Structure 1
Amino acid sequence: MENIMVGRQPILDKKENLFAYELLFRSPKNNEIFDGEKATAEVIMNSLESIGLPNLTQNKPAFINFNTKMIKNKIFDILSSDSIYIEILETVEVDEEILSICKELKSQGFKIVLDDFEFKESLIELVKIADIIKIDFLNTTKKVRKETLYLIKSKYNKDVKFLAEKIENYSHLKEAKKFDYDYYQGFYFTKPDIISGRKVEPFKQSYVNILEELNKEYPDFRQIENYIKQDLSMSYSLLRLVNSAAYGYDINSIRQGIVLLGVDKLKKWSLLYSFKSLNSKKPDILLITSLTRAYFAESLKQHLDIDEDLFILGMFSLINAYLDRDLKDVLPLISMKSKFKDALISKEGKLGEVIKIIEIYEKSNWQDLNKYSLDKKAVSNDYLEAIENAEEIFEITY
C-alpha cells in the first residue's frame, strides 16, 4: 500500500489515564491533502488491513472522523461498534437522513461524537443522542464554553460527556477540571507545566551510576548488579522484564538477568525505569510517547545517515515535561553528549532534524515532511514499529 500515513492523538480520562486515540490521516504525496471522505476511507483501510487497529490504539477505542458523504455511504458497516467511535465533523449539515443514520448507529452500539462543537438550533436533535461532545479550547472563549456546557446539560442531554480538545496549557487543563470535563485531548500533555520556584528533581544517584557504567567501553556488570540491588522495585522490574514472554528467559538472579539482556537492552530498560520514577504524577501516555520517540529516533539514523545511538536523544526530548522545567535548566543535570544537549535545545543540524521529524509524526503535519529527502513509506513503517515496541516494553515493565 502506498505511503501509509496514519497519525494518532491520545485522549485521556479525568485521571489522565489513556482512554482512546483519535486516528488521523494525511497524504504527503505531491503535498496533497485528501478531502474528508478519502481520508477517512484511508484511515479505516490502513488501520484494519495494513497496520492493525490494536497496534495503533493499544487496544483502546479509536475515534475516526466522518464527513457527510462517509455517513450517508454507511462506510461504518465494516467496523466494530466495540472499538470505533463515530466522530461527526463540524462541517456535516444535519438533515433527516443524517439524523436517521446516527440513530441507526446508536442502535448498533456505536458511540456518537460531535467534533469542534458550536451550538446551533440545527444540531439539537443530534445533541440529544450524542455520547460525547468535543469543545475546542483554542477557538472558543471561556464564556462560550461555560454557556454551552450549561445549556446542553440542563436542557438537551444531561448524560452526554464532554471532551476538552486542543488543551495547550495549564490554564486550559485547570478550566477543564473545574467544569468537570470527562476527557482531555491536546499537546499540553507532552509539555512541561512550568511553575516558578519549583525545585528541579534530579535523577536518583543509582540511575545515574547505572547509565554512566553502561556507557563505559567495558562496563562492570558486578557494579551494575550492586546498584540495581539497592532498589527493590528496580530489581523486581528487571526480573519481570527478563522473565517475560518477549524474552523467553526463566531466571531468578539479577546478575543473570543483566548478562542475558546485554548492554543495549539494559540501557533502554534503565532509561525507562528512571523516567517512570521521576514523576509518578505524570500520565502514562507521556512515558509511552517518550519511548516511542526513543525507538523512532533510533530508526531515523539510517534515513539521515547519522552514526550515533539516538535512543537516548529521543527519550530525553521530553525530560522537561517530566521535571516541569525548561530544557536549559534540566540538561546540565544529565550526563549526555554536549551535541545531543545542543540539538534538544536548538533543534538545529542533523540531530535537530531528528526531533523535528518526530514532532511532524506526532502532530500529523505530513506536508512538512517534504522538506526532507526521505523514503516516506519506510519512515512511516518505522514509526509504526516504534509505537509497537514502545507499548510492548511498557506493558512488560509495568
Structure 2
Amino acid sequence: MSTCPTAPGASSSPAENAFVGRQPIFTPEVEVFAYELLFRSGEQNAAMITDGDRATANVLLNTFTDIGLDTIVGSKKAFINLTRNLLTSHNLSCMPPDRVVLEILEDIEPDPEVLSAIEKLVEEGYKIALDDFVYRPDLEPLIGTADIVKIEFPLIPKEDLADHISKLRALGVRTILAEKIETQEDFELCKSLGCDLFQGYFFCRPQVISQRKTQVNVASIVRLMSELQNPDITVGEVEGIIQTDANLSFKLLRFVNSANAATTRTIDSLKQATTLMGISRLRSLASMMLMTSIDEGKPQELIRLAMIRGKMCELLASESRATRPDRFYTLGLLSVMDALLDKPMDEVIPLLPLADDMNDALLNRAGELGQVLQSVIHFEAGEIAPPISLSAEHMASAYQQALRWIADCKINE
C-alpha cells in the first residue's frame, strides 16, 4: 500500500542544502493527520546521527527557516523528537505551540527534572507525545502528561496488545498511535482494537525534502547571543544587531513567517519580527542556530566553555564593581571564537564590530576587561595567581555560580 503525499522537489548538493525527512501519520480512514519530521543529512533516506541535540536543532531550523513549515507539512502539525537535554534546557520556546507536537523519546526516564520540564511545556500550550512506548508502571507519570501515546507495535506481543491498549485508556490516554505498521494485517488489528492513528512502512516510507541553505556567519550568531544576555536590552537594539547580517535577517524573517504560516499575516520587517518573537524566543532561536552552525568537528564542550567563561567574567566584574558587567560576559564568550572559527584572534576581530578596549582585551589581555579575562583563563588552567585582586575563593565561587547558571539552562548546554 502506498499513500504517501507527493514530496516537494529537492536539489542535491548536501554541503549547501538543508534536508528534512518526513513520514505521514494517518487516521483510520487513511487520511493524513500530521507528519513526523526526521533528521536527514542528505538525499539518502537514512539518518546518520552522532549528536541528538544537534540533529533536532537541524530539523527545527531546516524546517522553519530554509525549507518552510508550510512546504513540509502544509496545514498539518509536525511531530518533532526531543532529546532529554533539549527537553530540560527550557530552550524550545521559539517553536509555535499550535504547529508542533513534541515527542518524548523512549530512552528518557521520568525523573523530577524531566517531569517538571514537560509540565512547563504543557502550561505553555505544547502537545506532548510519547515515542516508541511500551507500558511499564514506572512510566505512568509520563502518561499523565501526554496527549498522544505512540505504541511500539512490533515490541508488544499481539496477544497482549488489547490489554496494553485498555490499560492506557484506563490511565486517561485519549489518542493512541500505532507505529511501525508494516502489513494490512497489522493495520486491521490495531484499528479493530481502537487505535486512533497509524504510522509505518505499510502506508509510506519517509521522504526527504531539501532546499538550498542560507549560511549565517557564526560570529554574527555569537554576537547576537552575547547581547541577548543583557537583561535590559530592548527589541530595537536586537533589531540593530540582526540587521548587520543579511543572512541572519533572512533567517529570522523566514522563521517568523514559517511559524505563522497558518495565519494570513505576513511579517515583512525586522522590527515586526523581533517584536513578535520577543527576547526569550530570540534567545532560544539563537541558541539553536549556534548549535547547528559550529563545525561538527568542534566539540559542544567548546560552546559550554564559552558560556561558562562569559558568565565567570560577568560575575567577577560585578564583584570588582566594574561598570557594564554585561560587556565582560560578551568578552568571555568571544574569547573562544578563534578556536570555533579556526582563525587567529587578529583575524576574528574584524568580523565583529567591537569597541577598541574589547579588541585590546581579546588580543593583548589589556585593561580592566583583559585582566578579568586573564584571571578566568588562569583559573581554568589551575593557576592560583590571577591578575585581579580577587581571592581563590571568589574565583571558585564564580565558577560554581556559572555552572549553576548553565544547569538552569539560560543557554543550552
Q: Normalising to structure 1: TM-score of the pair?
A: 0.46
Structure (1 or 2) with the greater helix fraction? 1
Q: Normalising to structure 2: TM-score of the pair?
A: 0.45
